[in-house]
Structure 1
Amino acid sequence: MLRAGGAEVTLAGFRRTTNPIADIEGLRPIDLGATRDGRFGQRLAAIAKAAFSIGSRLGDTPRPDLIIARNLEMLALARRARSAFGASVPIVYECLDIHRLVLRKDVLGKALRAVERFLARDVKLLVTSSPAFIANYFKPFGQVAAPIELVENKYFEAAAILPGSPQAPGGSEAPGDSETVESPVGPPWRIGWFGALRCRRSLELLADFSRRMEGRFEVVLRGRPALSEFPDFHAFVESEPWLSFGGPYRNPEDMASIYGDVHFSWAIDFFEAGQNSEWLLPNRLYEGCRFGAVPISMGDTETGRFLSKQDIGILLPEASSEELEATLGKMDEHRFARLKAHVRARNPRTWSYDRSDCRALVERLRSLTAVSGSFAAEALA
């Protein structure tokens, strides 16, 4: 979005891979080292190491007009980077998840919230992706005094808005239906669970439901499973007759095909139940609806409230295979056609960002600086 909106971007951050990453969307990132998923102590050590060396790592990087820090650890490094540049560069704090550690009521939770308030004391803007994050965390805890910009996890219409894209329709400003997706004929009805697969309860619930339905429903999994949460993921899926795992996918290249292969999208997450999982508006919500998959969510979550306002999708009052069977078990072609038609009838901009959204975001960021003309941002991700 930054690049499509006219900004020049320098990217710096940690990686989860063993070897450095040479290219991200045409950018050569500044490598700050490796971190491990779920290893809090190791991440603290990596942050401390990067804080001491960030000046040399930035090297000959030109001074940016703005620094965007994507999460709390990057906010600490953003302040170090600003000192290395020797100038008063505005910092934007981007927070797309509220980690369970900062919500703890003990000494650790209080300490982390205090650290966040200290590091965010002079940021110029807070960027977050769900109104529930603001209502349930940032406002009640008083974490950030800066203005707030809501940037939802909408689908990025890269083919339509990136400059020079061979698939870009000439002069198109809005995400249209150039990729109309037709669902396969059911039954069997297919539920797609795509993205970061980290919720064991969802996996077990879908497995139990598919066994109950004895083949009338199949579950298709795509993405990257968090093996730290379920190390037996692959064996579990292979042992289930109506579950399948298709591996990772490319975004946006594969989105139309993977959602076009299913009827429903699983937009439920119990990973941090009662907290982040109930407050977020996930990528899969927007991606699935963009390509016509009917979303399934819990009614008492921010996602459920969002879908209720849109009058689309299937909302469950409780998370059980019995409830899934009662709600979905008698699905037929006519009912599914109505559900899908309701999704397709919504304004496409509900699900996707177009070129004007990208320009508006960059202009909002530009307003935080005294710079006119070209605009350069350093993103710490």
Structure 2
Amino acid sequence: MPHILYLAHDLADPAIRRRVLTLQAGGADLTLAGFRRGSDSKVAGDIHQPIELGVTEDARFLQRATAVAKACFTLSTRMKSAKKPDVIIARNLEMLAVAQRANSLFGGDIPIVYECLDIHRLLLRTDALGRVMRAAEARLGRNVQLLVTSSPAFVENYFRPLSGLDAPILLVENQVLDLDGIEIATSIARPPAQNAAWKIGWFGALRCRKSLDILSRFSRAMDGKVEVVLRGRPAYSEFNDFDALVAAEPHLSFHGAYRNPEDLSGIYENVQFSWVIDFFEEGLNSKWLLPNRLYESCRFGAVPLTLEGTETARFLKRRGIGVIVPDVRVETLCDTFQTMTTELYAESFSGLAAQDPAQWTFDRADCRGLVQRLAILAASPRLTPTFPSPTATTRVNLHD
């Protein structure tokens, strides 16, 4: 199996820990290197000692670009004891620059994989800055041998029509990492006790100001009939004062971070519905993504609540599950939950429970399959015929 150099944009991001666990479960030997996002941040979870490249800050593009440039300049020193990798994986655009520098240090013959699970708004601008950013991505990705992304809509709306990338595409969805065969009794509905509130969970990367505002106003309007439970990692740079905003809401509460996937069952089993709506890159990335919380809520029996016209809604419609609202006006959400009965909830839950749970998870066999695909690159780094052409997309564990 290959030795992989994994370059992470944020070592504190739980998603990085999940990918490290995925690659290790697939049999890969791993070197992890990356940035800490904020000087006070820590490496996520229990992943082994990484090579730290510096500190970057949320919502400060120029600072991050400068930090990447400095890291590239000092990379030979930082990597002096690292084993030559068979494959380099760059998570996000900023790490693609580091990957190119690392490749040159190790001889220039290592295949590079570009893992892009979000499309940054700068790449989608229609002005000169947007064109410059896309040109930079195309240049940095000129010898990328594989592009990994998580939603078909990213391919349809950005990578094929807009990006200048010319590489085979591998679709790896944001499924729940399940290395131990988790058994969950999702066939048993969990309605609230008589006269108790419906509970909606908003879990994961909490970065959407609009969602927080909507959920605050909606829960207040329902006057105790709906409670909103927040868990995860707030992006404090996106809120004026996240803690104060949450504390001021009588029907909204934040219960801190959690371990993913270890704690997912417990947090989802305490809610009936899951907020699977995002406006972080409104109309663009937020419309196209298939987020972690979609697969998590389906796997652990919380009915996903999402917005019409999004890739998430299309995903749920194909399976005939979930609650899809036409808009997120407070009046619309109130109408949805004022008419919510135990019977309607049970019907939504039963549709979810009837699904094949394997489609929500990424198990050890999937991990091995992913690493084997990377091993193909390592075995023939200058050849790509083993993969589909750049206009095609290969999927890992997609159950339609």
Superposition TM-score, scaled by structure 1 size: 0.90
Residue in 1 aligned with 2:36?
15
2:198 to 185, 189, 200: 189
Residue in 1 aligned with 2:342?
333
Q: 1:224 & 1:35 partners in 2: Cα distance? A: 17
Structure 1 position 26, deviation (Å):
3.7
Is structure 2 residue 130 aligned with structure 1 residue 121? no
1:247 to 256, 259, 264: 256
Runs of 4+ in 1 over 4 A off after TM superposition: 19-24, 178-182
Residue in 2 aligned with 1:311?
320
8 Å contact from structure 1 (residues 181, 260) kept in 2: no
Residue in 2 aligned with 1:165?
none
Is structure 2 residue 344 aligned with structure 1 residue 323? no
Structure 1 position 343, deviation (Å):
1.1
SS at match of 2:160: helix
Residue in 2 aligned with 1:357?
366
Deviations 1:148-199 (CA, angstroms, capped at 9, x unpaired): 0000000001334xxxxxxxxxxxxxx5437887635243100000111111
SS at match of 1:59: coil
Letter in 2 for 1:247: G
Q: 1:180 & 1:340 partners in 2: Cα distance? A: 8
Segment of structure 1 superposing worse, 28-37 or 343-352: 343-352
Is structure 2 residue 168 aligned with structure 1 residue 147? yes
Structure 1 position 9, deviation (Å):
1.0
Letter in 1 for 2:359: T
C-alpha change, 1:208 and 1:6, in structure 2 (3 Å) is same
Letter in 1 for 2:111: P
Deviations 1:46-97 (CA, angstroms, capped at 9, x unpaired): 0010000111111121111100011111111001001111240000011000
Residue in 1 aligned with 2:243?
234
Q: 1:181 & 1:155 partners in 2: Cα distance? A: 20
Structure 1 position 200, deviation (Å):
1.4
SS at match of 1:159: coil
2:299 to 290, 299, 303: 290
Deviations 1:290-325 (CA, angstroms, capped at 9, x unpaired): 100000000100001001111110001112111111
8 Å contact from structure 1 (residues 153, 281) kept in 2: yes
Is structure 2 residue 107 aligned with structure 1 residue 107? no
Segment of structure 1 superposing worse, 344-353 or 131-140: 344-353
* Percent identity between the two aligned chains: 54
Residue in 2 aligned with 1:40?
61
C-alpha change, 1:201 and 1:208, in structure 2 (3 Å) is same
Segment of structure 1 superposing worse, 108-117 or 220-229: 220-229
8 Å contact from structure 1 (residues 20, 31) kept in 2: no
8 Å contact from structure 1 (residues 21, 29) kept in 2: no
Letter in 2 for 1:270: F
Q: 1:308 & 1:22 partners in 2: Cα distance? A: 38
Superposition TM-score, scaled by structure 2 size: 0.86
Residue in 2 aligned with 1:71?
92
2:101 to 80, 95, 98: 80
8 Å contact from structure 1 (residues 279, 303) kept in 2: yes
Residue in 2 aligned with 1:266?
275
Segment of structure 1 superposing worse, 184-193 or 217-226: 184-193
8 Å contact from structure 2 (residues 191, 342) kept in 1: no
SS at match of 2:262: coil
Q: 2:49 & 2:98 partners in 1: Cα distance? A: 19
Structure 1 position 23, deviation (Å):
7.4
C-alpha change, 1:18 and 1:142, in structure 2 (3 Å) is closer
Q: 2:321 & 2:41 partners in 1: Cα distance? A: 43
Q: CA RMSD in A?
A: 1.9
Segment of structure 1 superposing worse, 341-350 or 262-271: 341-350
List alignment gaps of at least 5 residues for structure 1.
161-174, 373-381
SS at match of 1:221: strand
Q: 1:117 & 1:4 partners in 2: Cα distance? A: 32
Structure 1 position 328, deviation (Å):
2.2
Letter in 1 for 2:26: G
Residue in 1 aligned with 2:390?
none
Q: 2:292 & 2:52 partners in 1: Cα distance? A: 26
Structure 1 position 262, deviation (Å):
0.5
Structure 1 position 18, deviation (Å):
2.3
Letter in 2 for 1:223: G
Letter in 2 for 1:229: E
Letter in 2 for 1:294: V
Deviations 1:246-269 (CA, angstroms, capped at 9, x unpaired): 111111221111111111000000
8 Å contact from structure 1 (residues 180, 291) kept in 2: no
For this pair of structures, how many residues does the alignment match? 358
Deviations 1:314-358 (CA, angstroms, capped at 9, x unpaired): 001112111111222221211111111111111112111111111
Is structure 2 residue 226 aligned with structure 1 residue 217? yes
SS at match of 1:248: coil
C-alpha change, 1:20 and 1:290, in structure 2 (3 Å) is closer
Q: 2:209 & 2:43 partners in 1: Cα distance? A: 33
C-alpha change, 1:68 and 1:308, in structure 2 (3 Å) is same
Letter in 1 for 2:137: E
Letter in 2 for 1:246: H
Q: Which has the higher contact order (CA 8 A, sep 6+)?
A: 1
Q: 1:39 & 1:320 partners in 2: Cα distance? A: 31
Is structure 2 residue 391 aligned with structure 1 residue 370? no
Structure 1 position 45, deviation (Å):
0.9
